[in-house]
Chains A and B, each alone.
Chain A
């Protein structure tokens, strides 16, 4: 419970300017833990539910990794079409009265009943739908973070035309007919580096008749690491490698490039390196040894940068990480509070980028960061 409260504070609901106030009250009621006794009526309309999102919403839509839609979480209301149909029904009823036609009466009543039963069918289309956070891919600030969700429903059910997405972002259309579990990918635009946690997901359907809309929300516990936008500062470009010792590359033994000496044969030595000349002379099997020279370690050092501004520095370092990674260099990263030893490869790149992304975000342990990188924090 506590951890979910903590996460909630981090999450960015679109509360607007008055958010601090309402957040406080939210926190209080969370602390007192007596919200269970307060029963809030179902919201009458979408607008209403948006404006006062807080208390009942939190209770019904706690931040979880997996959420199933049920009675508490599904809202239904008339659509514009059902309004138009109601007008048509009124027209038919008038016809029925003025022409005293029993059949037209029956027709208008049947259509009315159709609207009523639509409530149940639309509800059924959402009920039992389960959303589960699967994976979040990191991205650079300004790009789109991709979240992978698993959408499923009980085996005996079918779901049609359900739209899932964040407001003003991509929307996925879900149909569960033959498959009862599918994976969808949703993307969300990002602005700033750091740990990006999308706001609540909206789930919407008006199936089967379009007369009733049903909707719900899911606040899935998933976040994506947003790396700083890579932006190379030209003025710094030359100063990237520090304490350069061009001649004194470190020897890497058991290399293949330069000859360094001869020693006795050991099991496993390549026959190509056996000193056949010596063998012919002495009858003793000896091996020629070679060394490689590692290019000198590159250090990306925060303190060595002459540019100012945290974000600018981070963007620059990010660009350099990408550059070295591309050049398959061995590089290390030093930023205040964190030093990453030189290495190379995909994992190393991600570690560095993550460190840059989360710079200044405080005391997140490495382990947690690691989970967030390749999966989802739990």
Chain B
């Protein structure tokens, strides 16, 4: 190799060191928020040591110190309780290594290692957070890392700004090629299952419901999903985003049923074939077409207007008409759905399903059971019974509150329904279903989200965690499953408008979430713009998956064949290269010298041929005298030419006759050449 036997200086300059340090700090800074806090002091320690070494206060750390720091780091990791086989562990180790390497960097090679690790760490950061801001931060980190790469190549220390400018320019010029790769490079399904980051902790609605869970969710203004409607948007009170069906009640908590049916299928989460869908649904009314981007939740549950009949994207229809993702949602997920909200579902109810929908614990909540018996006895039909229960919620002193009193674990339904009468949607839904089942009417709790906030700017509906809701479905003869929302009886404004309006008098909307910007009214306009930008970011950038790629390419270039893609990519690539060559001035001719200088150089070459070489130290004037002396035959021409050259260069008065002088020089050169 060339480098061997070619001793370049291999040490990094002082400014190179500073750049490396800056790059390390920039890369590590955001990761500190996602990784064990114990890493922080160790990272700071290595940075400080590094600075002291650079300033000459400390020596390079010896092996013993390195080992001690290494053990300290590992100990800190162990103490922070990160799982051994997890992404967090991998990222933490990478961070530690990144920080330690800094301790011993002197040579260019070490610097390279640090910078390459830095690039990988930016990728790790993206595993934890994919927001627009973090992406921008990633670009900043890239710029600094590239700047550091430049700085460690330099053999002299230079100012910061030119390096920064050069690295930004390089990255900017790379952008078209990056986009070309980005749009055209094939996308793959995951090769293997990977551990998730702690940033992917389960959020949103869970697969069980204890009164209080949803109240907790209502304190979060995180986005759950965004919806874009193809046609008309249904009314706000129709927006029931159905997620989970909770069939089983143990006296306190509602959970999904895990009792297998006769055919060995677990109800709910198992896939429903198209035939089964067709059999159990009577399609009615208009369709609603919409596109949903689900935020990461760490769970497979998806939320939609029920029943969904068409799904485009990686999800399937579950047993009770919900849609479920094949994998836990750890990155924004895009689905295109078509629902028929007015359809009838399961007009024929199987015995198995009926049993599930009538299940109650053996004992407990005797007051409520007694109340149910009383009401049922005085009702002529099931429908009337239902109305009476709902009327009770509406007319009695029930309150819709985010600050319900604590309920006992033995008779939670009684405590709420008979005694406190203060509760949140989960209380109402749970007790309503209890009342139905107690009267022998099949019913179940449904959780999901209700409503959402319309973003006029981006023309989409944003559904937040505080829109989480619980309601019920009751099976009625000839109508199948019918939705009832007891909360609407108590707090119609929750359904007609939103939670914030419903909680206005209580002032409990997002009361625990001090940092929430959602409460600041005058920011609404800006917030809408930001939300809209973020929606576009999720929809078009993060959502650029295999499907999106195919759609995009089809839209741009029509039907695609391999040859056609090859041609397009080749053409664009050539275009980008051309752009670079132009921009970097590589195509420009080297001869940018003024014409007179070119002519004078040719003159010198000519003289050299005739045996009179101009020494570097000779001015044109001394060379003129020297040449005239050496070549007396040509003295006239030499004199004339040199005088003309001097005039063109130094005499401003001949500016107007510039060209004639140049012509003179040319003709003299010809004469000399003879």
Contact = CB atoms under 8 A, between A and B. Distances in A.
B331 A100 contact: yes
7 contacts: A84-B113, A97-B191, A113-B174, A120-B586, A168-B5, A173-B155, A210-B153
Q: What 3 A-B pairs are tightest by C-beta distance, nearest first? A: A109-B181, A113-B174, A113-B177
Interface in A196-242: 202, 204, 206-210, 213, 215
A104 interface: yes
A291 B190 CA distance: 106
Contact of B123 (A95, A112, A167): A95
Interface in A71-124: 81, 84-85, 88, 91-92, 94-114, 116-118, 120-121, 123-124
Contacts of B3: 204, 213
B33 interface: no
B71 interface: no
A171 to B, nearest CB: 6
Interface string A145-181: 0000010001010001101010110010101010000
B182 A106 contact: yes
Nearest to A161: B155
Interface in B599-619: 608, 613, 615-616
A4 interface: no
B154 A88 contact: no
B374 to A, nearest CB: 56
A209 B181 CA distance: 21
Given A92-B119, A103-B138, A98 B6 contact: no
Contact of A208 (B9, B166, B330): B166
A116 B126 contact: no
Given A88-B120, A103-B135, A167-B6, 9 more contacts: A99-B331, A105-B187, A109-B178, A123-B586, A134-B616, A171-B6, A202-B2, A204-B2, A207-B153
Contact of A124 (B150, B192, B584, B590): B584
A283 B431 CA distance: 154
Interface in B3-28: 3, 5-9
A108 B592 contact: no
A121 B581 CA distance: 10
Given A98-B192, A161-B154, A46 B1 contact: yes
A286 interface: no
Interface string B125-160: 011001000010010001000100110111110100
B271 interface: no
A127 B6 contact: no
A208 B2 contact: no
Given A99-B331, A204-B6, A210-B153, A117 B177 contact: yes
A108 B155 contact: no
Contacts of B190: 97-100
Interface string A353-378: 00000000000000000000001001
Given A101-B130, A121-B170, A204-B8, A127 B542 contact: no
A117 B174 contact: yes
Contact of A111 (B9, B119, B581): B119
Nearest to B113: A84
B155 A99 contact: no
Interface magnitude class on chain A: 35 or more
Nearest to A132: B616
B444 interface: no
A106 B130 CA distance: 12
A79 B139 CA distance: 25
B185 interface: yes
A84 B116 contact: yes
B194 interface: yes
A70 interface: yes
Contacts of A154: 590, 592
A68 interface: yes
Contacts of A215: 2
A128 interface: yes
Contacts of B47: none
Given A107-B138, A112-B181, A171-B8, A99 B586 contact: no
Contacts of B130: 101-103
Interface of B: 1-3, 5-9, 108, 112-113, 116, 119-120, 122-124, 126-127, 130, 135, 138, 142, 146, 149-150, 152-156, 158, 166, 170-171, 173-175, 177-178, 181-182, 185, 187-192, 194, 330-331, 541-545, 580-581, 584-586, 590, 592, 608, 613, 615-616
Contact of A109 (B149, B152, B185): B185
A87 to B, nearest CB: 8
B6 A163 contact: yes
Contacts of B154: 160-161, 175, 207
A103 B126 contact: yes
B156 A175 contact: yes
Contact of B188 (A46, A97, A106, A163): A97
A95 B674 CA distance: 72
Contacts of B586: 120, 123-124, 127
B590 A109 contact: no
A208 B155 CA distance: 11
A161 B153 CA distance: 7
B138 to A, nearest CB: 7
A117 B615 contact: no
B584 A121 contact: yes
A82 to B, nearest CB: 10
- Most A CB within 10 A of own CB, among B112, B123, B149, B166: B123
A123 B577 CA distance: 13
A214 to B, nearest CB: 10
A134 B618 CA distance: 13
B9 A150 contact: no
Contact of B112 (A70, A84, A109, A167): A84
Contacts of A156: 585, 592
A96 B182 CA distance: 12
A163 B331 CA distance: 48
B123 A102 contact: no
Contacts of B581: 120
- Most A CB within 10 A of own CB, among B3, B173, B175: B3
A116 B580 CA distance: 11
- Most B CB within 10 A of own CB, among A97, A113, A150, A161: A113
B153 A208 contact: yes
B616 A150 contact: yes
Contacts of B592: 154, 156
A113 B155 contact: no
Nearest to B4: A167
B295 to A, nearest CB: 14
B612 to A, nearest CB: 10
B155 A175 contact: yes
Contacts of A123: 586
Contact of A107 (B126, B149, B580, B590): B126
A104 B7 CA distance: 38
Contact of B590 (A128, A150, A163, A207): A128
Given A127-B586, A154-B592, A175-B156, A107 B6 contact: no
B251 to A, nearest CB: 41
A101 B122 CA distance: 12
B126 A117 contact: no
A200 to B, nearest CB: 13
- Most A CB within 10 A of own CB, among B2, B8, B130: B2
Contacts of B194: 98-99
A204 B155 CA distance: 13
Contacts of A213: 2-3
A116 to B, nearest CB: 6
A215 B616 CA distance: 27
B584 A102 contact: no
A362 B70 CA distance: 70
A375 B166 CA distance: 41
A172 B544 CA distance: 50
A346 to B, nearest CB: 19
Interface in A232-269: none
Nearest to A209: B149
Given A108-B123, A161-B155, A167 B5 contact: yes
